[in-house]
Structure 1
Amino acid sequence: MVNLNQSNTPKSEKDYWRTPKNLIGDAQMLLNVPQFSVDVCAKDAETSIGLATAYIDESIDALSPLVEWDKNNIVRNERYHCKHLPMFCNPPFSKKWEFFQKAIEQSKSSGHKILMVMPYTPATRAWHENVLNQDCIIYVPDGRYQFLLPNGERSQNSCSFETCLILVVPFKCGNVIVNYKRNF
């Protein structure tokens, strides 16, 4: 069977697509928050989402068992760091499931909510192995977001798969699915 949804992105850039502002705005509206506490997967200060009070950059292995996402490993931005706000994570595509599993672990151990930007692929084995039976709220948009190129410019094409926002929560709820209209 031929895969018709092949990406045209060079392998060296696949992990560096940037989060569009309209996705971040929708996330704020959905969670009713003014900003996020930690941007878990920033390449550097420039690529950190502007609405995070702190970030973890590439110099820190955020997947290391020794790294806790809201402890001494974060770089604080110039405003007050609000630990009670949810964390934000648009993981490198090649390590999306590793980051998802770490988010579950971090949420359970710290009591934080963590919003993940993930491919919406509920018919796949990976989705069943990772997302089903977890405590998370899955926000499914009415269409695709157009992610930004690593240099911050708009891409000519949108990504070749659906995207969703998954809020990993530290309380029992199973999988809850919420459909929403983008840019509301």
Structure 2
Amino acid sequence: MAILNKSQTEKQNKDYWRTSELLINDALTLLNIKGFDIDVCCSSEDVQIEKSYWCLTEANDALSDIDWFSDSYSDSSFPQFTTSFCNPPFSRKWEFFQKAIEQVNKFSKQVLMVLPYTPITNAWSENVHGKNCIIYIPNGRYQYLLPNGEKPTGGCNFDTCLILIVPFKCGNVIVNYKRGLSEKNI
């Protein structure tokens, strides 16, 4: 299928879109949690999502031998959560997905990923189908933020979903939801 809406994002910025607070708050509401262990894909510490205790920056290289869950990241003042958050660089999304599956299997914890919702593609079929994932599909598109944190003039040209990779057998479970869940619970 041809992409009719060509991206207007400069090539050097494609991997640095930031996650909106609405998406984060909806994710926390969907999962009924207060925060994430680690924000796995930060370009730097200053862009770490607020509701995560720790972050892995580009310099840490989350795809290396580093663990996404570790007792060494925590201290006694930190409430132990069981879910890491990952909005991966667009150009390496499937590498991050595979690493997430590895981490979930190793630590029996969860990873919530933000990915383009493309279920009819070969890449989706090869990576997501048959894995133990709960796929949350919103009723529209989320607005992402530019690398500097500002809202772009145009929106993203693809649908997004949240994929919770879980440490138990469930196959693929689809959950549809309305954006703004967190705003309704305030």
TM over 0.5: yes
Q: CA RMSD in A?
A: 1.8
- Structure 1: 5+ residue stretches without partners: none
Q: After superposition, where does 1:43-122 map in structure 2 within 5 Å?
A: 43-64=43-64, 66-71=65-70, 80-122=77-119
Aligned-pair CA distance for 1:61: 1.4
SS state at 1:59 partner: helix
Q: 1:58 to 1:80 in 2, by over 3 A?
A: farther
**More helix by proportion, 1 or 2?**
2
Deviations 1:18-48 (A, max 9, x none): 0000000100100001111100001111110
1:175 is aligned to 172
Q: Is the 8 A contact 1:22 1:183 kept in 2?
A: yes
- Give the distance between the partners of 1:81 and 1:42, measured in 2 at CA: 20
Q: Give the TM-score, by structure 1 length.
A: 0.93
1:21 is aligned to 21
- Give the distance between the partners of 2:100 and 2:10, measured in 1 at CA: 27
SS state at 2:41 partner: coil
Aligned-pair CA distance for 1:106: 0.3
1:150 is aligned to 147
Q: Is the 8 A contact 1:119 1:161 kept in 2?
A: yes
Q: What letter matches 1:166 in structure 2?
A: I
**Runs of 4+ deviating beyond 6 Å:** none
Q: Is the 8 A contact 1:40 1:56 kept in 2?
A: yes
- Structure 2: 5+ residue stretches without partners: 182-186
Q: Give the TM-score, by structure 2 length.
A: 0.92
Aligned-pair CA distance for 1:80: 3.4
- Give the distance between the partners of 1:99 and 1:81, measured in 2 at CA: 26
Aligned-pair CA distance for 1:2: 5.2
SS state at 1:139 partner: strand
Q: 1:123 to 1:2 in 2, by over 3 A?
A: closer
Deviations 1:132-160 (A, max 9, x none): 01000000000000100000000111111
2:184 is aligned to none
